Amino acid sequence: QVQLQESGPGLVKPSQTLSLTCSVSGGSVDVGSYYWSWVRQPAGKGLEWLGRIYATGNTNYNPSLESRVTISVDTSKNQFSLKLSSVSAADTAVYFCAREAKWSDALDIWGLGAMVTVSS
Amino acid sequence: DIQMTQSPPSLSASVGDRITITCRASQSINRFLNWYQQKPGKAPKLLIYSASSLQSGVPSRFSGSGSGTDFTFTISSLQPEDFATYYCQQSYSSIFTFGPGTKVD
């Protein structure tokens, strides 16, 4: 059974870069049937899709964040990562990684989420 | 970007009630519409994909319908574990967008 687990610093200073990693177990990121996404949720608010990556490295990003977001994949470590630069308090949120199955075009498996606070 | 709206933003219901949530897209998205359930402190859970396909393991009291710009999500008989927030999400565009959510309490 595929499981996803986010990891990374829980506190980031303003203007710095937020970095999170999603480790995939029970399956491979190198399988062509899936995309790998990041979604975030500020406290008490809705879900915001940040972007996704395919095993080949092809990416799609939310245009509202595209200048600050980078998603990469490391097939040797079976994980994918999120970098968000020049963060501010508005980037404080729970960050989820998720798998998108190509046959359903839906996010069918999610990590538990990682809380990231931007504060000095 | 494709904008998604949901109504109502919240609804009060009782166990056994039939509830319906609507989702509207700002342009036609064919049937590329998914529904998720989220409980406090938990990750979202996929319930319905492609507008009406039930995700494996999801109870049959959940259903979805619609195409184009207008979609509905129905719980035929609300159970205690169904009190949660429900989100629609379009996957027609390579830039995904979620609806604002409907809280069922």
Contact A54, B86 (CB under 8 A): no
Q: What percent of chain A has pLDDT over 90?
A: 92
A19–chain B Cβ distance below 8 A for any pair: no
Do B100 and A46 lie within an 8 Å CB cutoff? yes
pLDDT (tens digit, 9 = 90+) per residue, B65-84? 999 999 999 999 999 999 99
DSSP state of A26: S
* CB-nearest partner of A47 from B32, B44, B45: B44
pLDDT (tens digit, 9 = 90+) per residue, A42-94? 999 999 999 999 988 899 999 999 899 999 999 999 999 999 999 999 999 99
pLDDT (tens digit, 9 = 90+) per residue, B39-49? 999 999 999 99
Q: What is the pLDDT of residue B2?
A: 96
Q: What is the pLDDT of residue B50?
A: 98
B44–chain A Cβ distance below 8 A for any pair: yes
Mutation for testing the A interface, residue in B96, B97, B102 having most A CBs under 10 Å: B96
Do A63 and B95 lie within an 8 Å CB cutoff? yes
Q: What is the pLDDT of residue A98?
A: 98
Residue A89, min C-alpha distance to chain B (Å): 20
Residues of B within 8 A of A111 (CB-CB) are 43
A81–chain B Cβ distance below 8 A for any pair: no
Q: What percent of chain B has pLDDT over 70?
A: 100
Q: What is the pLDDT of residue A56?
A: 87
Q: What is the pLDDT of residue B37?
A: 98
| Average pLDDT of the residues in B82-92 | 98
Q: What is the pLDDT of residue A31?
A: 83
Structure tokens at A108: 């069918």
Mutation for testing the A interface, residue in B95, B97, B102, B103 having most A CBs under 10 Å: B95
| Average pLDDT of the residues in A26-37 | 91
Is residue B21 helix, strand or coil? Answer: strand
How far apart are alpha carbons B90 and A1 in whole angstroms?
26
Structure tokens at A72: 């990469």
How far apart are alpha carbons A51 and A40 in whole angstroms?
10
For the ranges A16-20, A25-29, B46-50, B69-73, the lowest mean pLDDT is seen at A25-29
How far apart are alpha carbons A116 and A111 in whole angstroms?
15
Do A110 and B101 lie within an 8 Å CB cutoff? no
Nearest of A42, A41, A64 to residue A51 by alpha carbon? A64
- Band (pLDDT 50/70/90 cuts) for residue A32 is confident
pLDDT at B22 over 90: yes
B88 membership: H or E segment, kind and range: strand B85-90
Residue with tokens 């480790």: A23
